Amino acid sequence: MSRTAARGILCVEDDPDDRLLAEMAHRESGVVNPLSFVADGDEALEYLRRVGRYANRDGDEQPGIILLDLNMPGTDGRETLVIVKADPALRRIPVVILTTSSAERDIATSYDQGANSYIVKPTAFTSLVHLFQRLCDYWFEVGSLPGEVGK
């Protein structure tokens, strides 16, 4: 899929500072795929299922990828991953774990539960910019996404 048909990116991140850095890095990266933020797993599920505060969400398509933090209050990333991958309407959306944890247990468990990729958050801003470029190059230019998620 070319960037001209820009599918969105849903970033599930509870930390306001990390959201701001991600937003700045996304803008700096020059990618055209729109970036949306939700603060936790519960909000992510509302967004994806178009219920609650997202019942009237614009656009017909689901995000092309989900960037999912693991460590969040409430429904954390681990639980959210399990729920998304068990839901026939959502399970085809690629989920990229983007977290500070480099623990082998978190990496292995995430892949066991259906994560499509696992990335430890870079600490340098320029590395985060490059991360957005590479993610979008792979998922939206090189890789193939299902035409209609959940169908």
pLDDT for residue 22 is more than 90: yes
The structure's pTM equals 0.91
Q: How confident is the model at residue 5 (pLDDT cuts 50, 70, 90)?
A: low
* Predicted local distance difference test score (pLDDT) of residue 147: 67
Q: Which fold has domain 3-142?
A: Rossmann fold (3.40.50)
Query: Do the Cβ atoms of 85 and 136 come closer than 8 Å?
Result: no
* pLDDT the model gives residue 149: 40
Q: Which residues pair with 35 in a beta bridge?
A: 9
Q: What is the pLDDT of residue 85?
A: 98
Find where tokens 């989920």 sit. Answer: 95
**Residue pLDDT, tens place only, 29-83:** 999 999 999 999 999 999 999 999 999 987 768 999 999 999 999 999 999 999 9
pLDDT interval class at 146 (50, 70, 90): confident
Please, which residues have CB within 8 angstroms of residue 140's CB and are 6 or more apart in sequence?
Answer: 1, 2, 3, 6, 7, 33, 64
Which string of DSSP letters, residue by residue, matches 28-81?
HHT--S-EEEESSHHHHHHHHHT-GGGTT-S-SSPPSEEEE-S--SSS-HHHHH
pLDDT band (50, 70, 90) for residue 150: very low
Question: Which tokens go with 85?
Answer: 């991958």
Supply the pLDDT for residue 3: 40
Model confidence over 80-132: pLDDT tens digits?
A: 999 999 999 999 999 999 999 999 999 999 999 999 999 999 999 999 999 99
